[in-house]
Amino acid sequence: MTPPPDLPAGDAPEPSPDHYFTAQPASAAERRELTVRLAGREVTVEVASGIFSPGRLDLGTQVLLRSVPDLPPASPGPDGATHLLDLGCGWGPVALTMALERPDATVWAVDVNERALDLVRRNATRLGLGNVRVVRPEDVPADVLFAAIWSNPPIRVGKEVLHDMLLHWLPRLEPGTEAYLVVQRNLGADSLMAWLDEHLDDELSVSKLASAKGFRVLEVARAG
Ligand SMILES: C[S@@+](CC[C@H](N)C(=O)[O-])C[C@H]1O[C@@H](n2cnc3c(N)ncnc32)[C@H](O)[C@@H]1O
């Protein structure tokens, strides 16, 4: 059964005929405003059909944002900047939170859905955030390492794509930093944790940070 868009859905089926991870959603973009609380303040953003959770701040994303520790203080990388990553940004709740909390850092908002990318750009501009780089995955320079990765990853793309994606991005944590992933328990959070433990290199360790409302928040830490 397809849940109504205004109910907590986690990474649940979309009411739209498009998958939320379609590069160019075929449905018309029904744009509207949504007022939500991000980084402790009320903000109004733009959302649209054809993307993930357009009707509300997703419950899994809420669990992630409530569970993560503070972002690390700025410790500029080799290029003089601190880079943070929101992997699978959708309309941008995670990237916008990071950018509001760390105006001194560069936040990479990455997605394959062009409509989502357009919305994050507009939302960053609305909120006066000049520190968000909104790009497709292949447009992040290969030498950028991250001081934090936060993600509500696209479980429904299938295991192979999901695994490739995580093996591509998680090793790009700087030494001594962490990634946090929120995954619905009944969509395989525990098996994903076991898989990551087996397949990530020994410098990266996986543990469970939190469990709430049917979601797990997994922590992937790179040794310092
Ligand atoms: C579960 S949604 C989370 C969206 C948003 N972060 C939120 O919390 O509302 C996952 C997102 O990952 C995106 N995605 C799918 N495949 C991807 C890939 N290969 N690389 C980056 N993002 C991808 C989807 O388009 C979708 O927007």
Between the CA of 154 and the centroid of ligand 1 the distance, in Å, is 5
pLDDT, residue 205, reads: 98
Atom 12 (ligand 1) nearest CA: 88
Three-state secondary structure call for residue 150: strand
Nearest alpha carbon to residue 133 among 96, 166, 181: 96
Between the CA of 91 and the centroid of ligand 1 the distance, in Å, is 9
**With contact defined as beta carbons under 8 Å apart, do 154 and 162 qualify?**
yes
Ligand 1 atom with minimal separation from the 51 CA = 27
* Rg (alpha carbons) of the chain, rounded to whole number: 16
pLDDT, residue 6, reads: 32
| C-alpha–C-alpha distance, residues 38 and 23, integer Å | 26
Where do the domains of the chain lie, and which CATH numbers do they carry?
32-222 (3.40.50.150)
Query: What is the block-wise mean pLDDT of the chain (224 residues), using blocks of 10 residues?
Result: 37 53 78 96 96 95 98 81 97 98 97 96 98 98 97 95 98 97 97 98 97 98 96
Between the CA of 21 and the centroid of ligand 1 the distance, in Å, is 6
pTM equals 0.92
Backbone φ, ψ for residue 199 (5° rounding) = -105, -15
Out of 112, 115, 187, give the residue to mutate to test ligand 1, the one with the largest number of ligand atoms within 8 Å of its CB.
112
pLDDT, residue 3, reads: 36
